Chain A
Amino acid sequence: MRDDENNNESHNKNRLRIETTLEATEAYTGAVDVDVGNLLVSETSVLEREKFSLTVGSLTREERDENIKAHARDVLQRLVSDLFALPSESDVNGRFALLPPGETKFPRSLPLPSMEKPKTKWEQFAEEKGIKKRKRSKMVFDEQQDEWKRRHGYDRAKDSTKIAIVEAKLSSRAGQTEDPFLKERKDKKARVEKNEMQRRRNLGEQVKEKGAAALPATLRLAIGAGSNNNSSGGGGKKGGDNGGGVGAKSLKSKQLVKDVQYKVATSTASVGKFNAPIPGDEKIKARGKRRSFASNTDDKNTKAQEKAFVEKLIKREKSKKTSEGVDVGLAAKKMQKEQETEKREGKKQKLMSKNKKKK
């Protein structure tokens, strides 16, 4: 649309060369919007009525279709001439025209990812101190093995875990001598764990700052999880079950131990009822729903129990309503009642005062 002028300009420039070819190929000569990048042409002049309108004259459908075809051919010729005028490169498969980017604007299908990647703690520190990344070679010469090896990763140079002989101090106390190989393995493990912890901490900080969008696509927040300000995550109960809730890891392991304890304690012939008393056992409780049934024979307490049950139900329903939001009907009723009482009282007082005056 906007580029019509540009295209015309380019046509005018090459006029001498193209005009002949356009004529030879019987291309459409009117104004045309060509978006070569999208192979899109729009010919937006008013259509000739005699050629396209069935209501005018005695045009048949078949004739109109022929007209469309003929007109489309002429317009298409313009696109083709533009395409063939583009710079191209040849290949085994033929000639490829190098397309410019499309000019028509289309909406994205997914949101634009955030441009700024949140900085890790190290990156922040490096920026503060003015530390810049230096490019280091991938390969390093390993003097011990006398060959070039990778700086990091598998089969790396100076692999501390693969040194055959290490000097070690013998402790004066028996059994206290430290195994240097074991120490190295432990240290390595600790380093890996520390790095993992730092990675997690960085991710956590990023999510806290920028929300879930800060995470890369391959990571996403689990259902029921969220940052501190996201309280609707359903935390508590669910967290224990699927291990994805608030403070999942520590809670989960604790809960798992408790679950196993409960299972063991109840895995007797009496389902744990007549176990020999073990200290601390009374604290073991099952998770989840427990159903208690009202007695069928106890007549004394049935009425009271039933009443309590009904009251409990009512209470629950009421609390549901309030937690979900305002019950509009109820609120309106209340307001109306209040207004009515106010009115009534106002009238009463007026009457009273009148009566007083009369007296």
Chain B
Amino acid sequence: MVAAVSISAPETNTNDSSRNISQTHHLAVKAAKTNKGKRAIEKNAPRRKEVAAKTLMLLHGAVTSEVLKSLINDLSQMKYGENHKMNRKNPGIRPFEGGGEVSLEFFAEKSHSATFAFANHQKKKRPHAITFGRFYNHKIYDCVEMMVNGETFVPIIKFGNAAASTTIGSKPCMMFLGDKFETDANLRQLKNVFADVFRGRVVSRINLKGIDRAIVITALEDGKTILFRQFAIKYKKSGTRLPKVHLEEMGPRFDATLGRVKLPPPDVEREAMRVDKTLVKEEKANALSQGISDKVGKIYVHKQTEGLDEINRRKSLKGGLKKKEK
């Protein structure tokens, strides 16, 4: 796919380059050899505006459990077409410990994944632990760990036919319930991670019929318990032009306790949050666009009472006006 092409960039004169190698600037560049290869590289190259869904890498740690296996399967179903599922055990991966992220980052780069869910079961210390996280430039950006309550876990398959009405790989609605998502720093991070993991690709328009599932995450008052639910959305007539929403649980369902949280380093965060300024349109002051064709503008007009002021000062006139009002 790639061929080596050497490039020589002489500093002074091309004729001297062969004589004096040490003084010339040489570098070898690998160029894509075929168009197919070129396209493959360009597909995964950095972009000004990131529109594609972040691929979710799903993998297991040294020890895993039935609950986690099932959950990972369900996650792959929820992220259909946008996930990279791996089946082998990975004893070397520990996202929260120094050096434990090496092979995770390696896999991320290989699979072009920007998010991950890592399932690891430590019976006493961290039972049914699943870590959600993100990568920036193939390096771990942040991660959030939670211990799934094995008793409460219900996989998609147990909900029977509820998921049948949804389209595979559709863009889900997401709901975050509870004030802790606003007040607690860890849960705020968790909210952003979850939203990023499940939001799918960025779209400019969406089929209203296609909005067919909602992920609901509730944070309880203890600031540690998270309730994860997914519902199928059905529309019913309400008598107005707006349909009435009806929910049917489709799974997976689990309750989890928040574990370790790794926030992004501030400098990396600043770097990762950069937005291409050329893409952000500057909004014109006082202009509101309503829909495609309508544009409403606001115009500032000076006070029109300048002439009236003098008239108003006259006592006789003031009284007259008051009388009229009464």
Contact = CB atoms under 8 A, between A and B. Distances in A.
A53 B240 contact: no
Interface stretch (B23-31, B97-105, B155-163, B312-320): B23-31
B179 A218 contact: no
A76 interface: yes
A71 B177 contact: yes
B89 interface: no
Contacts of A251: 21
B205 A97 contact: yes
Contact of A93 (B4, B191, B207, B244): B207
Contacts, number: 278
Contact of A227 (B27, B195, B210): B27
**Most-contacted residue by chain A among B134, B141, B192, B206 (CB, 10 A):** B206
B207 A39 contact: no
Contact of B206 (A99, A217, A221, A246): A99
Interface string A1-40: 1000000000000000000111011100000000000111
A219 B2 CA distance: 9
A24 B238 contact: yes
B175 A76 contact: yes
Contacts of A111: 46, 136-137, 271, 274
A112 B270 CA distance: 12
Interface string B173-185: 1111111011000
A22 B231 CA distance: 21
B274 A41 contact: no
A119 to B, nearest CB: 15
Contact of A102 (B152, B202, B292): B202
Interface string B240-255: 1111111101000100
A83 B195 CA distance: 18
Contacts of A240: none
Contact of B242 (A21, A106, A244, A249): A21
A44 interface: yes
A250 B247 contact: no
B238 A21 contact: yes
A255 interface: no
B27 A207 contact: yes
A220 B179 contact: no
B273 interface: yes
B175 A75 contact: yes
Interface residues on A, range: 35 or more
A228 interface: yes
A98 B242 contact: no
Q: Is the interface of A mostly helix, strand, loop or mixed?
A: mixed
Nearest to A37: B202
Contact of B218 (A47, A87, A200): A47
**Most-contacted residue by chain A among B54, B196, B229, B242 (CB, 10 A):** B242
B292 A98 contact: yes
B27 A76 contact: no
Contacts of B152: 61
Given A69-B249, A94-B209, A98-B205, A76 B233 contact: yes
Contacts of A243: 4, 6, 28
Given A76-B233, A110-B50, A83 B208 contact: yes
Nearest to B276: A112
Contacts of A84: 208, 241-243
A39 B264 contact: no
Contacts of A201: 9-10
A139 interface: no
Given A106-B195, A205-B9, A243-B6, A88 B208 contact: yes
Nearest to B249: A69
A106 B245 CA distance: 28
11 contacts: A25-B242, A39-B199, A44-B176, A47-B179, A53-B221, A69-B249, A204-B27, A207-B9, A219-B30, A246-B21, A251-B21
Given A79-B175, A251-B21, 6 more contacts: A42-B181, A65-B249, A208-B25, A247-B8, A250-B21, A252-B6
